[in-house]
Structure 1
Amino acid sequence: MKEYMSKPFIYFVICILLGTVSTSHAQVDAPQLRCIAVEDNGDITLTWIPPADPLGQFLNYYIFSSVNGTPFVQFGNAIPNRLQNTETLIGVGFPKPTLKNFRYYIVTEYNDGSTKLSVPSDTLTAIELDLTVAGNVSGTLNWNLMRTNPLPTWENKYNLKRKLETVPPAVPPIAWTDKFATPDYSTITFKDDVARCLSDISYQIELEDASGCISRSNLVKERLEDNVGAATMTYDRISVGNGRNNMYWSKHPDGSVVKYILIHIDPSGIAKPIDTVSSTTFFWYDQGHSAQNQRQCYVIAALDSCGKSNGGGVKHCTIYLNRTYDPCAGEVYLSWTPYEGWAGVDKYNIYMALDGDTNYTKIGTVSGSDTSYTVKNVNALNTYAFYIEGIDITGRFTSNSNVLGTKFDIPDRTKFLHIRGASVISEEEIELRILMDRKAPIKHVNVYRGVKREGPFKKVRSVTPPLSILDTLFTVRDISARPNQMNFVYYVEVIDTCNMPVKVSNKFRTIYLSGNSNKDQMENNLKWSANIYVDSSAQERDVYSLYRGINNDYTPDPIRTLWSNQLAYLDNISSEIHSGDKFCYRLKLTQAPSDTFEIADTSVSNEICFKMEPDVFIPNSFTPNEDGINEVWRPKTSYIIPFKNYSLKVFDRWGKLAFETTNPLEGWNGQRNDGEAPVGIYVYRLEIVTVYGSTIEHRGRFNLVR
C-alpha cells in the first residue's frame, strides 16, 4: 500500500483547523461511499455515488486510508473524473496477519474561486472474515462491522455464502451456495456444523446496497480432514526383563479397533513400526533393541476397521541404569533415566544381589523425582548386580530397569620410590633421577624442594611418569632453581588415582661446589656439601670424582677420586699455570649398586671457575711538578703474566689523544708535543691480551695536578 502525506491532505487539515471548509450551496460535496469489496487477489474496490456539480467546479477525488488505527493518509493518486464511481486499490494484499482495521473515506477537491476540499464521505471498514475449524467439522466464522451504524441504503441482513469442494476438486467446479445463511447486520459471528471426511470449505459474506453495489469480505478457505479413526492410546508399562523389553497395554475401548501398531522411537526421534498385532493381544516383547546400553522408547497406535489411525499416543521409555565407582571411597554411584510415559512416578526401589544370587534384596527407596543412589562399603571381593524398580503414582504399574552387574577392583599402591640422583644441568636447572615401581596405577608425582633437610619444602612440579608396567627410572627437571648459589634438598611423593599421597621418597641434596683461589700460592681451594642419602644395601661406598677444565677444556678423567666422607680438596695449579688462565671444576658423586637398584648412579655438581688474570693497579691522579714525587702516571701490574699485547691510551677532555704506549713499563710524564699538558681530568683506556687469548680491558678517569 502506498501511503504518504499529500498536499491535498495537508490543505484539508489546515482548512478544518481554520474553519474554512466550504458549506455553501456552491460547494461540491464528497461522493457517497456505499460499498467496500475485497477482491480474490486481496485488492480492495470502493464504490460510490458521484456528487452533483452544476457549476463545473469539480477538480479531483482523493481517497484516504487508515490501517491499525493509524492516522488517515492519502492512498494513490487524485481521481480527476467526477463521473467515475469505483476505484480498485491495487496492492493492498488484504488481509494481512499483523494489519487490521482497513478504513477508507473520500473527499472532493473543487474550485469555487479558490481550491477547497469537501467534508469527508462516510468512513467504511473492509470486512475481514476469519474461520476456525475442528478436525472434519466446520467451526466458527467471525467478522467486523463496516460501520457501527449501517447506512440506510444497506440491506439489513448479510448474504453468507458457502462452498464445499471435493479433494481433488470436481470438474466442472462446484458453485457457491448463495444465502446459505442471512445473519442480521449487527451480527459478527456465525457457527457452522457441517462435517465432511475430506473436503475444502469456503465462506464469503456480502452486503448489498440499494444502489446495486455489493460490499464483500475476503474469502476464507479451510480443509475438513477425515479424522475418522480410533482415539490415541498408550502403554500401561514397559519393563526390562530376561534381556528384552516387555510391553503391556489394555484393550482399546473402541470396538472398531482391529489391530495395534507397535512403534519404536530411536534416540534421534525417528519412529519405526516394529510389529502389528491383533486386537486380542495385550503383551509383546522386543528383543531387537537392547536396553542394556541406553533407554528404549515406544508408542502404540490403534488401527480401526477402515484402516484409519490417529497415530501413537504418549511415548513410554524404559529406565536405563548406569553407575560410576569410586575405588578410593569404596562407593558405587547409581544413576538412571526416569521412567517416561506415566502421569508421574511415585518412587524408585533399588535392588541388589551378590555373587550371582538370583534373589535380589531391596537396599533402598528414593522419591519419584530422584534418579540417583549411593551404595556404600563396596567390597572388591564380591560381584554385584543392581536394578531399579519404578512405581507409578497410582500404584498399579511397575517398571524394571536393565540389570547392571559388575566387580569392582581396588587399586594397589606404590611400593617403593627413590631419588637416585640430582645433577646440575645449568645455572637454573636441576635434573632428578627417580626410581619408582609401576605395579599400581597413579595420577602423578609431586616434586618438592627445600634448602634444609628439615624443611620447609615447596612443591615445584607435578609430573606424570611415562606409562609402563615395569619399574621405571625417569627424570624430572626443576627449571626454577639456582644451583650455582646454594644446594637444594628434594623429595617426591606419589599421588594415586584417588588423588591421595601414597608414597614419599627419600630426601636427596644436590652437590654445591664452592671455593676460593690463591694466586700467590697458585692454589684453588674447593669444598662441597655431603650427600644426605645413603643406601644401606649398597655393595660399596660412594665416591666423588673431581674434574678440572682449563680454558673450558675438561679432561675425560678426574684429577682426583675421593671417598664420600671427604668434602674438600686443595688443587695446586703451579704446573698448569702456563696452560691457561681459567680453571673450572665439577664434582660427580657415584652411588654404588644396591639391592633396590643394581646399576651405579651419578649426581653432578654445579660448575665453579677461577680466573688467573693479572692484578692491575691504576692511580687516580699524579703531580708532574718536578718535585720528584708522583711525577709519572702509569698502570702497574702484579702476578706473573707474560703479555702478548699491551695498549695504553690517554685522552684529554675533548677526546684528543694525549699519550699512547705499548710498553707496560712506560708511563706518562704530563708532557705533550706542544709542552706541558694542562691540569684537569683525563680519560684512559687500557687493553691487555694474555698469552691464553683472553682480553683484559680497563677504562676510567684520572686527575693531572701541578
Structure 2
Amino acid sequence: MKLDLIKNIALILLGLNVFSINVCCQDEDRPESPTLERVSVDPFSGHTLLQWTLSSSPDVEAYIIYIFKNTDFFAMDDTIWDAGATTYENIISNASVFSESYKIAAWDSTGNISAMTDSHSTIFCSAEFDSCQAEVNISWTPYKGWNDSINSYIIYQRIEEDSFKILQQISPSDNQFIQSDIQAYTEYCYYVEAIHTDGIKKSTSNMTCEYTQMARTPEYINADYATVSGENEISLSFTVDPASEIKNFKLLRSVDETGPFDTIEVFQNVTSAKIEYVDQGLDLNQNHYYRLAAMNVCNKIVQQSNLAGNIVLTVSNQDIFNTLSWTPYQYWLGGIDEYQVSRLIGNGLPELIITLPGTDSI
C-alpha cells in the first residue's frame, strides 16, 4: 500500500516537472511587425484595400487587421490566417462616408502578437456645387501614413457617362480645388489620388458626384447691331441663345471699349430670344459701346455678348471736295463685308454713291 502511494506521488511529481519544463521553454518572444505600405479606396466599389510587407519572423501564422473606432483606440476588425498574405480588402468599409484609419499586427504559432504598425488613413473626397457661381468645390482629407513623402494629389473627373480623366494635379499641401464653368443639368463625378514620392505607391479616395441643378445659361448672346436711328439716339438689338433658361439681363454702356461699363437698363422675365432697346439723349460725335449681360438668380453675370458701338462720321471740306472719315464698326462676330456711303442733298432721298471694302474707314 505504501509502495503504491510512493509510486503515485513520484508520477505526479514527474508530470509536474515535465509541465514546468514545457512552460519554461515556451516561445514568449513577440514576432517582428509587418510594414503597412498603403491603404486605398476603390472609387467604384467603395471597398478599402490594405497592402503590407511581411513580418520577418519565420513562425508567423496570421495577420490581424485593426480599425480605428472613433473612441481613441484601434479595435480588431479581422484576422487573415495566411502567413504569406500581403493584402486585405474590407468589403464592408465606410470609406465612402468618412476617412478610415487602419493598423495591422502579426500573430505567431504560439499566439504572440507583434506591435501594431503605424496608422494609415484613407482619403475622403467630397464635392459641393455652388449654383450661384456655377462652380464645384472639391475637397479631401489628406492621406496619413506617408509622413512628408507625398509628391502630389491628382483629381480625376467624369462628366455624365464619359470615362474618368485627369482634371488637375495639386500640391501635397493643398486639399481643395474649385472647378469653374460648370454646365447645367449635368452629373460631375470626382475622386482623388495621392502619389508617393517613390512614384510607385498610390492611394485613391472614394468617388463623389454632384448633379448641377441650375438654370441653363445661354451658349451665346449676339450683338446684332448698334446704329444711329434718330437725333441723339442709338438703336440696339441682341439675340440670345433660345435654349437659355436665364430670364434676366442688363444692358451695359461705356464710352471706352475697355470700360468701365455702367448699367443703363435692366430686362426682367424676358421670354423672347430678341432684345431691342433705343438709347436716347446721346452725343453722337462720341463713340458709345454696348454689351448685354445675362444674370442668374444670384445677380451674377453668367454670359455676355460681343461689343456693339455706333459709327462716328466726320466730314472735312476743301474747295469742292468733301473728305469723309469714320470710326470702324469692328465688333460683329462675322466681321465687316462692306461699307455703303450715301449722300443726302436738301430734302431729297439718300443716294448711294459708293460701296467700299469693310477694311476702309475713309
Q: C-alpha distance in 2, partners of 1:378/1:372?
A: 10
Q: C-alpha distance in 2, partners of 1:347/1:638?
A: 105
In structure 1, what is the equivalent of residue 196 of structure 2? 591
Asked if 1 retains the 8 angstrom alpha-carbon contact of 2:41 and 2:95, the reply is: no
Asked if 1 retains the 8 angstrom alpha-carbon contact of 2:136 and 2:180, the reply is: yes
Which deviations, in whole Å up to 9, do the C-alpha atoms of 1:574-604 show, x marking residues without a partner?
4xx38x81110010111122xxxxx721111
In structure 2, what is the equivalent of residue 418 of structure 1? 36
Task: Determine if the alignment matches structure 1 residue 460 to structure 2 residue 77.
Answer: yes
Inter-CA distance 370–547: structure 2 relative to 1 (3 Å threshold)? closer
Q: C-alpha distance in 2, partners of 1:551/1:476?
A: 32
Q: C-alpha distance in 1, partners of 2:134/2:46?
A: 31
Asked if 2 retains the 8 angstrom alpha-carbon contact of 1:461 and 1:478, the reply is: no
Inter-CA distance 429–546: structure 2 relative to 1 (3 Å threshold)? same
Q: Which amino acid aligns with 2:177?
A: Y
Task: Determine if the alignment matches structure 1 residue 374 to structure 2 residue 34.
Answer: no
Q: C-alpha distance in 1, partners of 2:14/2:28?
A: 32
Asked if 1 retains the 8 angstrom alpha-carbon contact of 2:125 and 2:191, the reply is: yes
Asked if 1 retains the 8 angstrom alpha-carbon contact of 2:101 and 2:121, the reply is: yes
Asked if 1 retains the 8 angstrom alpha-carbon contact of 2:66 and 2:77, the reply is: yes
Matches within 5 A, 1:118-133: none
Which deviations, in whole Å up to 9, do the C-alpha atoms of 1:70-124 show, x marking residues without a partner?
xxxxxxxxxxxxxxxxxxxxxxxxxxxxxxxxxxxxxxxxxxxxxxxxxxxxxxx
Q: Which residue among 569, 580, 592 is the counterpart of 2:177? A: 569
Q: C-alpha distance in 1, partners of 2:38/2:134?
A: 37
Which deviations, in whole Å up to 9, do the C-alpha atoms of 1:292-344 show, x marking residues without a partner?
xxxxxxxxxxxxxxxxxxxxxxxxxxxxxxxxxxxxxxxxxxxxxxxxxxx96
Task: Determine if the alignment matches structure 1 residue 545 to structure 2 residue 154.
Answer: yes
Q: Which amino acid aligns with 2:160?
A: N
> How well do the aligned residues superpose, as a CA RMSD in angstroms?
3.8
Q: TM-score scaled to structure 2, two decimals?
A: 0.51
Displacement of 1:565 in angstroms is 1.2
Q: Which residue among 479, 482, 489 is the counterpart of 2:101? A: 489
Q: Which amino acid aligns with 2:81?
A: T
Q: C-alpha distance in 2, partners of 1:477/1:434?
A: 12
Q: Which amino acid aligns with 1:569?
A: F
Inter-CA distance 409–489: structure 2 relative to 1 (3 Å threshold)? closer
Q: Which residue among 54, 60, 64 is the counterpart of 1:442? A: 60
Larger proportion of helix = 2
Which deviations, in whole Å up to 9, do the C-alpha atoms of 1:586-642 show, x marking residues without a partner?
10111122xxxxx721111111111124569xxxxxxxxxxxxxxxxxxxx9956xx
Q: Which residue among 184, 207, 220 is the counterpart of 1:607? A: 207
Q: C-alpha distance in 2, partners of 1:516/1:447?
A: 33
Determine helix, strand or coil for the equivalent of 1:376.
Answer: helix
In structure 2, what is the equivalent of residue 78 of structure 1? none
In structure 2, what is the equivalent of residue 324 of structure 1? none
Q: C-alpha distance in 1, partners of 2:110/2:188?
A: 52
Asked if 2 retains the 8 angstrom alpha-carbon contact of 1:441 and 1:497, the reply is: yes
Asked if 1 retains the 8 angstrom alpha-carbon contact of 2:61 and 2:83, the reply is: no
Displacement of 1:523 in angstroms is 1.0
Displacement of 1:465 in angstroms is 3.6
Q: Which residue among 70, 92, 95 is the counterpart of 1:480? A: 92
Q: C-alpha distance in 2, partners of 1:427/1:409?
A: 42
Inter-CA distance 462–370: structure 2 relative to 1 (3 Å threshold)? closer
The size of the alignment, in residue pairs, is: 220
Determine helix, strand or coil for the equivalent of 1:516.
Answer: strand
Displacement of 1:490 in angstroms is 1.3
- Give the number of the structure with larger relative contact order, counting CA–CA contacts within 8 Å between residues 6 or more apart: 2
In structure 2, what is the equivalent of residue 347 of structure 1? 7
Matches within 5 A, 1:634-653: 639=245
Inter-CA distance 527–370: structure 2 relative to 1 (3 Å threshold)? closer
Q: Which amino acid aligns with 1:591?
A: H
Q: Which amino acid aligns with 1:515?
A: A
Structure 2: which 5+ residue stretches go unaligned? 217-242, 247-270, 272-362
In structure 2, what is the equivalent of residue 128 of structure 1? none
Inter-CA distance 522–639: structure 2 relative to 1 (3 Å threshold)? farther
Q: C-alpha distance in 1, partners of 2:5/2:16?
A: 11
Task: Determine if the alignment matches structure 1 residue 524 to structure 2 residue 136.
Answer: yes
Identity of aligned residues (%): 14
Q: C-alpha distance in 2, partners of 1:413/1:567?
A: 38
Asked if 1 retains the 8 angstrom alpha-carbon contact of 2:141 and 2:175, the reply is: yes
Matches within 5 A, 1:42-61: none
Q: C-alpha distance in 2, partners of 1:449/1:572?
A: 37
Asked if 2 retains the 8 angstrom alpha-carbon contact of 1:542 and 1:563, the reply is: yes
Inter-CA distance 367–566: structure 2 relative to 1 (3 Å threshold)? closer
Displacement of 1:525 in angstroms is 0.4
Matches within 5 A, 1:60-139: none
Asked if 1 retains the 8 angstrom alpha-carbon contact of 2:31 and 2:113, the reply is: no
Q: Which amino acid aligns with 1:417?
A: T
Bigger Rg over Cα: 1
Q: Which amino acid aligns with 1:347?
A: K
Asked if 1 retains the 8 angstrom alpha-carbon contact of 2:159 and 2:186, the reply is: yes
Displacement of 1:533 in angstroms is 1.6
Determine helix, strand or coil for the equivalent of 2:7.
Answer: strand
Task: Determine if the alignment matches structure 1 residue 431 to structure 2 residue 49.
Answer: yes
Q: C-alpha distance in 2, partners of 1:510/1:448?
A: 14
Inter-CA distance 477–416: structure 2 relative to 1 (3 Å threshold)? closer
Inter-CA distance 374–531: structure 2 relative to 1 (3 Å threshold)? same
Task: Determine if the alignment matches structure 1 residue 510 to structure 2 residue 155.
Answer: no
Asked if 1 retains the 8 angstrom alpha-carbon contact of 2:154 and 2:168, the reply is: yes
Q: Which amino acid aligns with 2:112?
A: M
Q: Which amino acid aligns with 1:441?
A: D
Inter-CA distance 569–459: structure 2 relative to 1 (3 Å threshold)? same
Inter-CA distance 535–437: structure 2 relative to 1 (3 Å threshold)? farther
Displacement of 1:449 in angstroms is 1.6
Which deviations, in whole Å up to 9, do the C-alpha atoms of 1:269-304 show, x marking residues without a partner?
xxxxxxxxxxxxxxxxxxxxxxxxxxxxxxxxxxxx
Displacement of 1:441 in angstroms is 1.8
Inter-CA distance 425–438: structure 2 relative to 1 (3 Å threshold)? farther
Which deviations, in whole Å up to 9, do the C-alpha atoms of 1:526-547 show, x marking residues without a partner?
11111222356x5xx4311100
Asked if 2 retains the 8 angstrom alpha-carbon contact of 1:551 and 1:581, the reply is: yes
Inter-CA distance 442–589: structure 2 relative to 1 (3 Å threshold)? same
Matches within 5 A, 1:180-219: none
Q: Which amino acid aligns with 2:163?
A: Y
Inter-CA distance 430–367: structure 2 relative to 1 (3 Å threshold)? closer
Asked if 2 retains the 8 angstrom alpha-carbon contact of 1:545 and 1:587, the reply is: yes
Matches within 5 A, 1:7-46: none
Q: C-alpha distance in 2, partners of 1:368/1:437?
A: 40
Asked if 2 retains the 8 angstrom alpha-carbon contact of 1:345 and 1:369, the reply is: no
Structure 1: which 5+ residue stretches go unaligned? 1-342, 350-364, 381-407, 594-598, 617-636, 641-664, 666-706
Asked if 2 retains the 8 angstrom alpha-carbon contact of 1:414 and 1:437, the reply is: yes
Matches within 5 A, 1:135-146: none
Asked if 2 retains the 8 angstrom alpha-carbon contact of 1:520 and 1:639, the reply is: no
Displacement of 1:422 in angstroms is 2.4
